[in-house]
Amino acid sequence: MKKCLGLCAALALAATLGLGQATELVSQADALFQEVWLSAYGPAVAADLRAKLESAIDLYTRALNLDPQNTHILNMLARAYYTLADIFLPEREKQEFHEKGQAYGERSLRVHPEFVAVERERGFVEAVKTSTDVEALYWTYANWARKVELGGAFGILAAALRGDDKKLNALMSRCLELDRDYLAGGPLRAYAGYFAKHPFSKDYERARELLLEAMEKHGDYLENRLFYVQYYLLPKELWAEARAVLQEILTAPIEPYPLMNSYCQVKAANLLLEIQGK
């Protein structure tokens, strides 16, 4: 009996120490991620920012080994992998890392017993309706959708045929219900992308409505304006208006979102070159 009590006490102490270590690792990872998020992007600093982001991912992964059900860690891994792939990796490597981000996002959703139970009985789409974790929903969607997009026209078509579009629709619909202003209108611009790129039921007017709301409420997040160009103005061949919005992006301040806004300015400059003369 005494041996059993001693073993239990030792296990409890080890668990406590492990959680304490995980907390410290997460604190370090959060600080590194914030440092990257609050830095301006540019060719001269891209390698350094990437290294810091990869260090944050390593710290989050080590923390997850100690606390595998921690949704903050899982959500930050999903977000960090998205950021790494979207901004810092060459095109040929992006898809693999978005897959990793998607996996962590789904794992976060399945931490919740109700989600698991409903998914088992009625499927993923119905399970999503039970989730209240906006971050898990959003970063699962963001990585999944970008992974599909990187597959090109065939990848988008194949994803729709296997029912991914219904799952993506469920994720973003739930995000809009919970917090349409998360990450400066993230669900609004993400859902706009869904409607602009769907292979069977494109709806550019719905995309426009969502992006106008995002720009009205969060005009200082430049990706909202960039998406308006990419997902509405260019498909509609409104070249003059597209050039005007791209010029606005180039002259806008990068605060309070320096990483994303400076990266959007790089993309806007490249896009402006592509459409000159049209």
Ramachandran angles phi, psi of 39, nearest 5°: -105, 150
In a domain, 272, yes or no: yes
Per-residue tokens: 16: 């406590």
Q: Which domain holds residue 214?
A: 201-278
Say whether pLDDT at 7 is over 70: no
Per-residue tokens: 194: 């869904």
pLDDT of res. 155: 82
**DSSP 3-state of 224:** helix
In a domain, 31, yes or no: no
pLDDT in tens, 91-122: 999 999 999 999 999 999 999 999 999 999 99
| Model confidence band, residue 13 (pLDDT cutoffs 50, 70, 90) | very low
Radius of gyration of the chain, Cα coordinates, nearest whole angstrom: 21
In a domain, 182, yes or no: no
> 177-181, 226-230, 261-265, 274-278: which has the minimum mean pLDDT?
274-278
In a domain, 255, yes or no: yes
Say whether pLDDT at 9 is over 50: no
Q: How many domains does the chain have?
A: 1
In a domain, 211, yes or no: yes
d(CA 142, CA 152): 16
In a domain, 72, yes or no: no
pLDDT of res. 1: 53
Burial status of residue 10 (CB atoms within 10 A of its CB: 0-12, 13-18, 19 or more):
exposed
